[in-house]
Amino acid sequence: MAKKKSSRKFRNRNKKMRLQKVSATSTPVPTPAVEAKAPVVEMPPAAITTARRPSRTPTPTATLSHSQVLRAYISLMRLHRPIGILLLLSPTWWSLWLAGKGIPSVKNLLIFTLGCVLMRSAGCVINDYADRHIDGRVKRTRHRPLATGIISPAEALLLFASLCVFAFMLVLATNPLTIKLSFGGLLLAAIYPFTKRITHMPQVVLGAAFAWSIPMAFAAQSGELKTSIWLLYLAVVLWAVIYDTFYAMVDREDDIKIGVKSTAILFGEADRVITGILQGLFILTLILAGQKFELGEYYYAGLLAASCLFIYQQWLIKARVPDNCFKAFLNNNYVGLVIFAGIAADYYF
């Protein structure tokens, strides 16, 4: 009996040792119910807009619908915000009406109207290409197509080139003098966006680019360039500095942080005084131009209306509230229109 008990005790001990050995050498496998999930990291919107897209990833437009891609290109060209087209178009019409003595040719009117749309769109595209790494850091521009990566830099450059080619095809229907002048306009439009890195006066370059349509339109209509047309050119350069300074006042704080230069930063606390002086010089230059072109009372009535609008703009920016500065910028559309109305009425009546 003792022998039997001893044998059973020995078997139980061996069994226990085997179980311990298996437990020590095996690795437990967790069940799906208890496995830890990898944390999901969500990037804030600002980080998404400033992040560069990996070079080997598919183009984002491939995942978008046709309507979304179309809206992105419209946004890139700012066709949904025609204020820039109007600011470029009104002085072009001034020049056409002066060169045609109130009756410009329908051909030139169509060429330069469509040309303004194309070149303003091209200017917006190359501007966003130049600012593609900084737009994401500015609240107002962080959702632009190049800043978000919806449109690639290569696609933007292709669009810019296409718009310039279409505009040049229009110019080919004019005359040799206008064709020669068009190269100067293209150069100014292309370099303007990059001047914000090297000078506090990129608005002067913008004005030179916007005003270049004046000698072009005059040459296309009359076949020559009178010295008096450069008074009109100077006036538009001054005007562009005025309204683009208002525009730059909207982003002044962001621009200071990221190192973008502008006249709004250069003028500082004297911005209201300096823009007021420039508005006075603009009106004075147009008075001199009116004398050269022998314009009458309707034209000067238009200048008086423009002066009243300038006073309103100064009232808008008195506290330098960004939204009101933007309203002052937009209000310049009416300045261009009342001056055009004065020129057209003077020739008509």
Number of residues written out for the chain: 349
Rg (CA), the chain: 33
The answer to the question of residue 19 being in a domain is no
7, 71, 85 from 295: Cα distances, Å: 130, 44, 26
Q: Is residue 48 part of a domain?
A: no
Number of domains in the chain: 1
Residue 131 confidence (pLDDT): 87
Residue 101: inside a domain? yes
127 contacts 156 by C-beta, under 8 angstroms:
no
pLDDT of 174: 96
Report if residue 339 sits inside a domain: yes
CB atoms within 10 A of CB 81: 12
Residue 219 belongs to domain with CATH number? 1.10.357.140
Residue 237, token pair as written in the block = 């350069």
* Residue 68 burial (CB count, 10 A): 12
Residue 336, domain member (yes or no): yes
Q: What are 165-223's pLDDT values in tens digits?
A: 999 999 999 999 999 999 999 999 999 989 988 999 999 999 999 999 999 999 999 99
Per-residue pLDDT tens over the stretch 103-120: 999 999 999 999 999 999
Residue 191 lies in a domain: yes
**Cβ–Cβ < 8 Å for 262, 313:** no
Residues 71 and 145: their CA atoms lie apart, in Å, by 10
Domain-located, residue 9: no
Residue 12 has a pLDDT of 54
- The pLDDT of residue 8 is 54
The enclosing H or E element of 343 equals helix 322-348
The tally of CA atoms less than 13 A away on the side-chain side of residue 205 is 21
Low-confidence ranges of the chain (pLDDT < 70): 1-62
Which residues form the domain of 217?
63-348
Three-class HEC string of 173-223: CCCHHHHHHHHHHHHHHHHHHHHHHCCCCHHHHHHHHHHCHHHHHHHHHHC
User: Do residues 189 and 122 touch, judged by C-beta distance below 8 A?
Assistant: yes
In the block, residue with structure tokens 């296309």: 220
In a domain, 105, yes or no: yes
Which residue type, as a one-letter code, is found at position 243? Y
